[in-house]
Structure 1
C-alpha cells in the first residue's frame, strides 16, 4: 500500500504545468518531473523555464526509461494532446498504487485516462482560479487558484479516504491550495460551465479578465453560454442552478486584470483551441438530450471560423 507521495510526474509543460512544477519545487522535497519523448524531450531536458521571474530546471522523465512507477501523475494537457500514444506514455509511468490527477478542461479526460490506465487510479479533479499565462518563453500567474478533487464511486471505482489524504498532503506540501469535495462530479460540471462561458467569450472578444468583468455585454454573453450548461446538467441529474452562474461571475473578480484564459492564449498564439470540448461538447449533449443550445452552437462556429482565418493568414 502506498504510504506517501514522494515522486510526481507532470504531463504538460505549459502555463499550468509550469506553475505547479515551480510551486512543488519551491515548497517541498518531493521529486517533480516533466514527462516527454522525442523532440519535446530534447527541448525540455536540461532547459531552464522562468516562472514569475524565477528560473527552474525541472528534470524530465522519458516514458521508455522509467525504472519504477511514479506515486502521482498530474495531467495538465490540452484535450487534443491526450492521444492514444500519450495515454500509453502515462500508463508506462504507473503502477498498482499510482494515482492520476487530471486538471484538464472538459468532462472527458478522466474517462479516457481511466480506460487506458485503470479506473481505480483516477482521482476526479478540477483546477479553478489559476490565471497562469505563457508568453515569450516565460510563465506568470497572479493567483495559483486551487485544485478540488474527490471520490466518485459511480463513474469510477472510487479512491478511499486515506489515499485522498495522500493527495491532499502532497498538494499541501507544494503550497498548492486544494480541497476535497464530497460531490466532485457536480464541481466538475461547475468548472465545465465556467470554461464554456468565460473561455469562449474571452476568445471571441480577444479580452483579458479585467474587461470581461467590467463589460455588461460580455457578461450577458457568458451567462447565455452557461445557462445552456445548467439546463444540460439538471437534465442529467447534476445539481447546478442560477446561483452557480452568480458564483462564477463573482470569481472573475479574484483574477488578475491582465490575466487571460487558456483559450485566448491559444487563439493569440495561433494554436488549436479546445472549442470541441466546450461548445462542441455542449452541442453534442444538447442533441442527445433534445435540449436546444443555440448560443454554444453560435460560439462553436465563431471560434472555428476565427481559428481557420488565423491559420490561413499564417500560411
Structure 2
C-alpha cells in the first residue's frame, strides 16, 4: 500500500474523537465513522462535536466501509465482543487495523477474527472527557498514539504509511519497537493507579499521602506483574530477542 486514502473509526467516543479531530485536517482522504441504526442517524444529523467544533465525517455501515485502508477501533472494551462481526465485515484484503482500546488482548481477539496480519498493535494516551457539550481534550498536552510492529522488520511499509497519514494532522504519535511492552505498561498504569483512584474518588497525590493507597497499588502491581511474567514466556520465548525482551519485561 503506497498510501492510506481512506480511514474508518469504529467508536466515535472520547478516544475516537481524537482521531476524527486529527484526520479531519488531512486532505485527500475519505474519513468515515462506522455506525448503524439510531446511532448512525444521530451522527448524520448532528455530526461529532469536538472541542467546541462540529466535525462531519462520513457515516458508513460495515458493508459501506468494506475494504477501507485503515480501520481504527476505539470502542469501550466491553463492546468488543459485539463488534467483532462488524470489524470482520469492514476489513478487506489490505486493511490495516489499529485497536486503541484499554486492556492487553484486544489485538489478539481481533486478530483471531480477521487474521493477525491485519493488526498493527497500538495504544493511545489522551485525557479526553465526554460532556453534554461533546468531547473535550487538550491537543497540546496529549501524548497521542503509540504504535509499532510486534516483530522485525519494525520499519515496515504499513508503519510508514500510517506515519505519513498522521503527519501534519495535529495527531501526536510515536513509533516503537517495543509495542507489546508499552501496551502492558499502560495496562499497569490503568490497573494499579487509575482504577483505585476512580473507585475511591481519590486524586493523583493519594499514593504519596496514604500508605493504604500505596498498599492497594503495590498489591495490584504484584498481581499484574505475575500475569505479565507468565504471558511474556508465551510471547517472547525466542533466542533472537530474549535478552532485550526480558529487560523490557522487567520495566513493566
Q: TM-score range by the shorter chain?
A: 0.7 to 0.9
| 1:165 Cα offset (Å) | 0.8
Corresponding residue of 1:294: none
In structure 1, runs of 5+ residues without a counterpart are: 245-315
Matched, 1:70 2:68: yes
- Which residue number in structure 2 is paired with residue 80 of structure 1? 78
The separation in 1 between residues aligned to 2:164 and 2:47, in whole angstroms, is 28
Tell me the secondary structure at the aligned position of residue 179 of structure 1: strand
Look up the SS of the partner of 1:5 in the other structure.
Answer: coil
After superposition, the C-alpha distances for 1:109-146 in whole angstroms (9 at most, x for unaligned) are 11111111111100011112x10000114111123322
Equivalent residues in 2 for 1:228-247 (5 A)? 228-237=223-232, 239-241=248-250, 244=252
Number of the residue aligned with 1:212:
204
Query: What is aligned with 1:133?
Result: 129
Deviation track 1:77-133 (CA, whole Å, cap 9, x = no partner) reads 01111124x2121122221111000010111111111111111100011112x1000
Q: Which of residues 163, 167, 172 in structure 1 aligns to 2:162?
A: 167
Seen in structure 2, the aligned counterparts of structure 1 residues 97 and 240 have a Cα distance that, compared at 3 Å, is same
User: Is the Cα–Cα contact under 8 Å of residues 114 and 120 in structure 1 kept in the other structure?
Assistant: yes
TM-score, with structure 2 as normaliser = 0.83
| 1:94 is aligned to 2:88 | no
Please give the alpha-carbon distance, in whole angstroms, between the structure 2 residues aligned to 1:90 and 1:41.
Answer: 16
In structure 2, the residue corresponding to 1:83 is in which secondary structure?
A: helix
Native 8 Å contact 1:27 1:175 kept in 2? no
TM-score by length of 1: 0.67
Instruction: Tell me whether 1:179 sits opposite 2:183 in the alignment.
Output: no
- Which position in structure 1 is the counterpart of 2:108? 111
Q: Deviations over 1:143-184 (max 9, x none)?
A: 332211111249xxx887111111111122422121221121
What are the residue-to-residue correspondences of 1:1-315 with 2, within 5 Å?
2-66=1-65, 69-84=67-82, 86-128=83-125, 130-142=126-138, 143-153=141-151, 161-207=156-202, 211-213=203-205, 216=208, 217=210, 220=214, 221-237=216-232, 239-241=248-250, 244=252
**Number of residues paired by the alignment?**
233
Displacement, 1:28? Answer: 4.5
**Does the aligned pair in 1 maintain the 2:7–2:32 contact within 8 Å?**
yes
Greater CA deviation, 38-47 or 183-192? 38-47
Unaligned runs of 5+ in 2: 233-245
Q: Distance in 1 between matches of 2:69 and 2:154?
A: 14
CA pair 202-59 structure 1, distance change in 2 beyond 3 A:
farther
Residues in 2 aligned to 1:42 and 1:56: alpha-carbon distance in whole angstroms: 15
Distance (Å, rounded) in 1 between the aligned partners of 2:29 and 2:64: 20
